Chain A
Amino acid sequence: MDEDYLKLAEDLVARASGGDVEAEAVVTHGQSTMIRVSAGEVREMSRAVSRGLGLRVIKSGRMGYAYTSDFAAPALESTVRAALALADSADRDEYRTLPRHKHSPVSAEDLKIYDDGLSGRSVDGKVGLLLEVERVALGYDPRVVATLYCSYHDELSRVYLANSHGFCGSYERTGIVAYLRAVARDESEQASGMGLGWSVFYEDLDPPEIGAEAARRALELLGGTPVRTQQAEVVLDPFAGTELLSFLAEALTGEATQRGRSFLMGKLGEKIAAEGVCLIDDGRLVGGLASAPFDGEGVPSSRTRLIANGRLEGLLYDTYTANVEGTTSTGNGQRGSHRTLPHPAPTNLYLEPSSTPVAELIGGVEKGLYVTSTMNTGGINPINGDYSVGASGLWVENGEIVRPVTEVTVAGNMLEMLANVQGTADDLRFIPLAASVGAPTMVIGGMTIGGN
């Protein structure tokens, strides 16, 4: 950690605040590596050091924000000036305040989110790791003919945050992800499948499994055809399940409910899901990709039960939406980067698994689609709850997988889907595609499958 950056944040807060002006500064500093391979050769390699600074001011309830990647004195000076000037263009809102925590009781060390060996790893080693991912995928079966986007990314990020109420804190974390699509082909058909793995610690990544997963997923879809349009059960694997949950999470923010942008508006305290459904957001999850001692505005991270045994028990709040609601922030004021203001968003969000093995869960499905790949999240609408995605997967009859299915849609309404969750398996898996979201395989009844 570079304490100069924390001093820089404090210095900017001191320059911008005073009188009726509250101020908060965030400085980020990161190192990253990206590698892409194709057909056994490295195609792209990129390494970077990047940094940024964001300054938020609140002038009697009017908020202004400015950011810069240039840390030279003139750029810092115009950043302070811009933030203060922009506040005059915004409307006054009495709920706009900065939090008043001085520090977080959560220790970054206990969270196990930082691999201090990552920065010492050689690029050659990372290239070797990724080539192994691809080699396993291509060697898995002669019908696997190519890979797409076979990539490795790692990032070491450091965050420094200070505000005019005396908050001052920093942490560092690491994240590594490798993924690819394997393309499988036989005489007449072509299909692709995704393999993905992630870890906080370099040593925890499992390259052969990533390659094998992509190959398996592509091969099992070869020869798939649509089924006829019908009502049926749907089994969502963790890829499809986490996608659903990430949209559900949007509807579970204080912002969406207060702004009338959530199909769960006004349902706090009500039973909204089947009995066994428990949904948790845990910013303190040990080893979680989104775990941190504090959120994007210096509120200590916490564990929030959103749905407990089917009842909607909580929502995700940042300081502003908590003020509007007359409650306290849940530590979910997340910011995408130094360019953005905090908004309520999940940290590590997951649906609690059961102890049922996946095979047993599928064994109980009379007739339905086991979804292993989805397309177009544009059809998932957290405002009115409409859910409609393109899907591929495996057809299940009397508990047995009988054939591959492609080119169908799966549709329903999220409120009905929550009520129709018939069971979950024991295979909770986090898939960090958009956020850190985890789901076990789950069965949902009464869905519409659109085919031919």
Chain B
Amino acid sequence: MTEVELVPEESARRVLSEAVKNGGDLSEIYIEDRQSTTLSLEDSKVEEAVRGLDRGAGIRVFYGGLATYAHSDDLSEASLLTAAREAASAARGTNRSQVLAFTHAHSDLVFTSQRPFDEVSDRAKGELLRDLDREARVYDPRVSQVQVLYGEYRRRVWIGNSEGLWAEDERNILRLILVVMARRQDLVQESIRGIGGQMGLELLDQVDPVAEVRDAAASAVRMLDAEPAPAGPMPVVMNHGWGGVLFHEACGHALEADAVMQGGSIFAGRLGERVASPLITLVDDATLPGRRGSFRFDDDGRPSQRTVLIEQGVLREYMWDLAQARSAGRQSTGNGRRESFRYLPMPRMTNTLIEAGESDPDDILRSVKRGLYVKMLGGGQADTARGDFVFSVNEGYLIEDGRLTAPVRGANLIGNGPEILREITMVGNDLELDKGLGMCGKGQQVPVGVGQPTLLIPSITVGGTKGH
């Protein structure tokens, strides 16, 4: 272990042994240390400056198809042994299972932090927030409010199990969220931008936050002239980058093994079948350097990997964590993730993207006579049983005769993920990953990445307030 030895390996082995005293099939210890700092600005003032420490461990025992878990904020061996006994209690055997000696797992991936978070003082970070606020406000007098949220955390995890696995990972996540509001009389429009990634402060050298906050201001001001969105079915061109979140929600969740195994997924039992247009290749990749969804080892201790989910329209694989893989008698794909030591891992996406196609993005736009261009998608939700989804459009424009015209507000997209996948007719050659703000909630919050090229969906229902 690094620096502070939170739980000595010998102690971890005794805890794992206690956890299988009733003959559990496998015991696991997950130790976590997370130190975070956030600074937030609103009304041109740095209002909240917060630093925190979360430290604890969880003990998991597998017994047949059952996983029992107990966790503790106290890392003393006595507390961990108590948690181990609690986790062991559901197993019904009499003989203690064996605990093998640890072998340290190795990963070739190197995620470096060139500029550690503490290289810059809290005061200087506060000053950056004030600068960004000023930049947004001088951009246009209609800018009425600015919120800047800076967050950084260093999360270290140690995972050991009774089969002798020992894996360590460190995840440094930085995120700067920029919210700009513009106002004209009673009308207020908000635009959200930001940058983030799994790296140190060098992110601020690579992407200029000032350009981002100006872009947010420009977008909020532009949306003051937005018309109510039309309602009804129409072609939609989805901007590259963050637009990929639609497929994360509408298809990705239905490809997670828990949904598949419980029979609640539209994709269950369809491996090898054609489920999408041949233009579509959907990949989940936890190995991308600098990305929010990346890691060296997942929260089951499995090495991260790149998994092709859909290959030229054909369903190839689901996303598995250790628990689901064990009950299916197969290998995990390294998709076991958890929000913290307070939770059991579950199959989760990492960085999910649609690979580039061959169309020129301008040709895609020109092919549409009348439709909607989605520049920035907002949040969304999907139902894994049917694949239905609903997304809100934060920034959209009408397409008229192949050109962008008026901005529209209040638009929702509603459709069915698998149907959309089959119907996509043009895929751009401009694959882009999102800006690094993505957070996925499935009972637990984990950072994720998404990406896609510009896409044409020939018909999708737009839910606005204006008749068609």
Task: Point out residues on A near B: beta carbons under 8 Å.
Answer: 38-39, 41-52, 63-70, 75, 78-79, 82-83, 85-91, 93, 123, 145-149, 181, 183, 190-192, 226, 229, 231, 259-261, 263, 339, 341, 375-379, 381, 383-384, 386, 388-390, 406-413, 448, 450-452
Q: Are B342 and A383 interface neighbours, CB within 8 A? A: no
Report which of B48, B90, B385, B461 forms a contact with A450, defined as CB distance below 8 A: B461
Q: Which residue of chain A has its CB nearest to the CB of B66?
A: A42
Q: Are A451 and B461 interface neighbours, CB within 8 A? A: yes
Nearest 7 A/B pairs, CB to CB:
A409-B463, A378-B379, A390-B390, A450-B463, A376-B390, A86-B49, A379-B392
B34-61 interface mask toward A, CB cutoff 8 Å, 1 = contact, 0 = none?
0000010011011111111111100000
Q: Which residue of chain B has its CB nearest to the CB of A255?
A: B42
Given contacts A46-B70, A69-B54, is CB(A407)–CB(B414) below 8 Å?
yes
Q: Which residue of chain A has its CB nearest to the CB of B49?
A: A86
User: Is B382 an interface residue, CB under 8 A from the partner?
Assistant: yes
Given contacts A375-B381, A376-B412, A378-B391, is CB(A341)–CB(B50) below 8 Å?
yes
Report which of B55, B89, B262, B461 forms a contact with A146, defined as CB distance below 8 A: B262
B197-212 interface mask toward A, CB cutoff 8 Å, 1 = contact, 0 = none?
0000000000000000
Interface residues of B in 46-97 (CB under 8 A from A): 46-56, 65-73, 86, 89-90
Q: Are A259 and B385 interface neighbours, CB within 8 A? A: no
Find chain B residues with CB under 8 A from A450 CB: 231-232, 412, 414, 461-464
Q: Are A388 and B392 interface neighbours, CB within 8 A? A: yes
Given contacts A46-B69, A450-B462, is CB(A67)–CB(B381) below 8 Å?
no
Q: Are A91 and B47 interface neighbours, CB within 8 A? A: yes
Q: Are B412 and A379 interface neighbours, CB within 8 A? A: yes
Given contacts A190-B385, A229-B232, is CB(A388)–CB(B410) below 8 Å?
yes
Interface-facing stretch out of B109-117, B183-191, B282-290, B367-375: B183-191
14 contacts between A and B (CB under 8 A): A45-B66, A65-B51, A79-B53, A89-B39, A89-B123, A147-B262, A190-B386, A261-B181, A381-B410, A383-B188, A384-B187, A384-B189, A388-B465, A451-B461
Output the least CB separation between A262 and chain B (Å).
9
Q: Are A259 and B69 interface neighbours, CB within 8 A? A: no
Q: Which residue of chain A has its CB nearest to the CB of B44?
A: A91
- Please indicate which of the listed interface residues B52, B54, B65, B379 has the most CB atoms of chain A within 10 Å of its own CB: B52
Find chain B residues with CB under 8 A from A64 CB: 49-50
Residue count of chain B within 8 Å CB distance of chain A: 81
How far is A231 from B380 in the complex, measured between Cα atoms in Å? 24
How far is A87 from B190 in the complex, measured between Cα atoms in Å? 29
- Please indicate which of the listed interface residues A50, A91, A377, A389 has the most CB atoms of chain B within 10 Å of its own CB: A91
Q: Are A411 and B379 interface neighbours, CB within 8 A? A: no
Given contacts A43-B66, A229-B231, A379-B392, is CB(A86)–CB(B412) below 8 Å?
no
User: Is B425 an interface residue, CB under 8 A from the partner?
Assistant: no
How far is A231 from B461 in the complex, measured between Cα atoms in Å? 16
List 12 other contacts, CB 8 Å, given A89-B121, A149-B443, A339-B52. A47-B69, A64-B50, A67-B51, A78-B53, A86-B122, A93-B47, A229-B231, A375-B388, A379-B412, A407-B414, A409-B414, A450-B231
How far is A392 from B277 in the complex, measured between Cα atoms in Å? 28
Find chain A residues with CB under 8 A from B190 CB: 381, 383-384
Q: Are B263 and A146 interface neighbours, CB within 8 A? A: yes
Q: Are B465 and A411 interface neighbours, CB within 8 A? A: yes
User: Is B264 an interface residue, CB under 8 A from the partner?
Assistant: yes
How far is A52 from B73 in the complex, measured between Cα atoms in Å? 9
Q: Are A191 and B55 interface neighbours, CB within 8 A? A: no
Report which of A38, A89, A183, A389 forms a contact with B46, defined as CB distance below 8 A: A89
Find chain A residues with CB under 8 A from B121 CB: 89
- Please indicate which of the listed interface residues B51, B54, B343, B462 has the most CB atoms of chain A within 10 Å of its own CB: B51
Find chain A residues with CB under 8 A from B125 CB: 89
Q: Which residue of chain B has its CB nearest to the CB of A81?
A: B51
Q: Are A383 and B465 interface neighbours, CB within 8 A? A: no
Output the least CB separation between A340 and chain B (Å).
8
How far is A226 from B231 in the complex, measured between Cα atoms in Å? 13
Find chain B residues with CB under 8 A from A88 CB: 122-123
Q: Which residue of chain A has its CB nearest to the CB of B387?
A: A190
Output the least CB separation between B89 and chain A (Å).
8
Q: Are B263 and A384 interface neighbours, CB within 8 A? A: no
Given contacts A90-B49, A388-B412, is CB(A375)–CB(B389) below 8 Å?
yes
Q: Are A50 and B412 interface neighbours, CB within 8 A? A: no
How far is A339 from B53 in the complex, measured between Cα atoms in Å? 9
Given contacts A190-B385, A191-B386, is CB(A407)–CB(B263) below 8 Å?
no
Find chain A residues with CB under 8 A from B231 CB: 229, 409, 411, 448, 450
Find chain B residues with CB under 8 A from A90 CB: 45-49, 126
Q: Are A50 and B342 interface neighbours, CB within 8 A? A: yes
Q: Are B392 and A259 interface neighbours, CB within 8 A? A: no
User: Is B177 an interface residue, CB under 8 A from the partner?
Assistant: no
How far is A89 from B129 in the complex, measured between Cα atoms in Å? 11
Find chain A residues with CB under 8 A from B123 CB: 88-89
Given contacts A45-B69, A46-B71, A70-B55, is CB(A388)–CB(B391) below 8 Å?
no
Given contacts A90-B126, A390-B412, is CB(A409)–CB(B461) below 8 Å?
yes
Q: Are B390 and A379 interface neighbours, CB within 8 A? A: yes
How far is A228 from B35 in the complex, measured between Cα atoms in Å? 52
Output the least CB separation between A59 and chain B (Å).
11
Q: Are A448 and B412 interface neighbours, CB within 8 A? A: no
Q: Are A411 and B48 interface neighbours, CB within 8 A? A: no
Report which of B233, B342, B391 forms a contact with A48, defined as CB distance below 8 A: B342
Find chain A residues with CB under 8 A from B414 CB: 390, 407-409, 450
Output the least CB separation between B439 and chain A (Å).
13
Find chain A residues with CB under 8 A from B384 CB: 148
Find chain A residues with CB under 8 A from B378 CB: 378-379
Report which of B145, B262, B391 forms a contact with A376, defined as CB distance below 8 A: B391
Report which of B122, B181, B388 forms a contact with A406, defined as CB distance below 8 A: B388
Report which of B126, B383, B463, B468 forms a contact with A89, defined as CB distance below 8 A: B126
Output the least CB separation between A128 and chain B (Å).
14
User: Is B161 an interface residue, CB under 8 A from the partner?
Assistant: no
How far is A88 from B127 in the complex, measured between Cα atoms in Å? 12
Q: Which residue of chain A has its CB nearest to the CB of B34?
A: A69
Output the least CB separation between B12 and chain A (Å).
18
Find chain B residues with CB under 8 A from A39 CB: 262
- Please indicate which of the listed interface residues A38, A75, A145 has the most CB atoms of chain B within 10 Å of its own CB: A38
Q: Are A148 and B385 interface neighbours, CB within 8 A? A: yes
Q: Are A226 and B461 interface neighbours, CB within 8 A? A: yes
Find chain A residues with CB under 8 A from B466 CB: 448
Q: Are A192 and B383 interface neighbours, CB within 8 A? A: yes
Q: Are B50 and A41 interface neighbours, CB within 8 A? A: no
Find chain A residues with CB under 8 A from B383 CB: 192, 375
How far is A46 from B87 in the complex, measured between Cα atoms in Å? 8
- Please indicate which of the listed interface residues B262, B343, B468 has the most CB atoms of chain A within 10 Å of its own CB: B262
Find chain A residues with CB under 8 A from B467 CB: 229, 231, 448
How far is A190 from B269 in the complex, measured between Cα atoms in Å? 15
Q: Are B43 and A259 interface neighbours, CB within 8 A? A: yes
Q: Which residue of chain B has its CB nearest to the CB of A75?
A: B53
Q: Are B233 and A452 interface neighbours, CB within 8 A? A: yes
User: Is B344 an interface residue, CB under 8 A from the partner?
Assistant: yes
Find chain A residues with CB under 8 A from B22 CB: none
Q: Are A183 and B72 interface neighbours, CB within 8 A? A: no
Find chain B residues with CB under 8 A from A406 CB: 386, 388
Given contacts A407-B416, A450-B462, is CB(A259)–CB(B46) below 8 Å?
no
How far is A51 from B187 in the complex, measured between Cα atoms in Å? 44
Find chain B residues with CB under 8 A from A192 CB: 264, 383, 385-386
Q: Are A69 and B56 interface neighbours, CB within 8 A? A: yes
User: Is B302 an interface residue, CB under 8 A from the partner?
Assistant: no
How far is A47 from B90 in the complex, measured between Cα atoms in Å? 12
How far is A368 from B194 in the complex, measured between Cα atoms in Å? 41
Output the least CB separation between A107 and chain B (Å).
30
Q: Are B464 and A44 interface neighbours, CB within 8 A? A: no
Output the least CB separation between A247 and chain B (Å).
12
Find chain A residues with CB under 8 A from B49 CB: 63-65, 86-87, 89-90
